[in-house]
Amino acid sequence: MRRFRDTDLDQLLPSARDRRPNGVLEPFKAYFNARFTEAQGQVSGTRLFLEIRERGYLGSRQVVRKHLAALRAGTAEPVRADIPSPRKITSWIMRPRDTLTESQEERLLQIRLACPDITRARDLARAFADLVRHQRGYPLPQWIRQAEQDAPKPMSGFAGFLRRDLDAVTAGLNGRASFELLRTRILTQP
């Protein structure tokens, strides 16, 4: 009460305007952001306003325009409930493409648009998974070079680890390393 009594009206009005809209739009941000991503940013504020109003939004068009401008500028904060866990994202990246549902593919696309590092990590992870699945060791040095050059830090570190023991990893990928080979090496050591 004292704040309202002791503060000039000119200061109270802008602060009230800045605080209220975020709360009104908050329950609709996940849908809003998904529609924006789905349309690749080519959607009007009026259309989004009408769509979320049908879902119960009671705020103004101005709030919608403000959030849309922040999305287009890339300054909007992500909606926490809208972000899948790292484990879920990893599972989508590592699974064969044809096993993802349409909604999982769509979510992965949204995540890739929001974070370009995930796109690069996804491409490299899938390429590595193909090497392992098809037991092809000969393209491994090229994969390692690509990962060391422009992959996110954890993946470039993994590539460096593979480079240190390249011969063994290549042999394993080519199907030449097996339990029998290990057994023979152990038995023949002096």
Q: What is the pLDDT of residues 132-184, one digit of tens each?
A: 888 888 898 999 999 999 888 888 888 998 888 888 888 877 776 665 665 66
Residue 147 identity: A
* pLDDT at 105 (0 to 100): 86
Mean pLDDT highest for which of 78-82, 146-150, 184-188? 146-150
User: What's the rounded mean pLDDT across residues 102-108?
Assistant: 85
Q: For the whole model, what pTM was predicted?
A: 0.50
* pLDDT at 166 (0 to 100): 85
Is residue 74 within 8 A of residue 33, CB to CB? The reply is no
User: CA angle 185-189-190, nearest 5°?
Assistant: 170
Q: Tell whether the model's pLDDT for residue 78 goes beyond 50.
A: yes
Output 63 or 178, whichever has higher pLDDT. Answer: 63
- Cβ neighbourhood burial of 21 (10 Å; 0-12, 13-18, 19+): middle
Q: Tell whether the model's pLDDT for residue 5 goes beyond 80.
A: no
Counting other chains too, the contacts that 29-33 makes at CB distance below 8 Å and 24 or more residues apart are 29/67, 29/79, 29/82, 30/79, 30/81, 30/82, 31/55, 32/64, 32/67, 32/68, 32/71, 33/71, 33/76, 33/78, 33/79, 33/82, 33/110
- Cβ neighbourhood burial of 74 (10 Å; 0-12, 13-18, 19+): exposed
Confidence grade of residue 27 (pLDDT, cut at 50, 70, 90): confident
* pLDDT at 134 (0 to 100): 85
- Cβ neighbourhood burial of 184 (10 Å; 0-12, 13-18, 19+): exposed
Q: Tell whether the model's pLDDT for residue 74 goes beyond 90.
A: no
Q: How far is CA 69 from the centre of its chain?
A: 21
Q: What is the CA radius of gyration of the chain?
A: 26
* pLDDT at 135 (0 to 100): 81
* pLDDT at 20 (0 to 100): 44
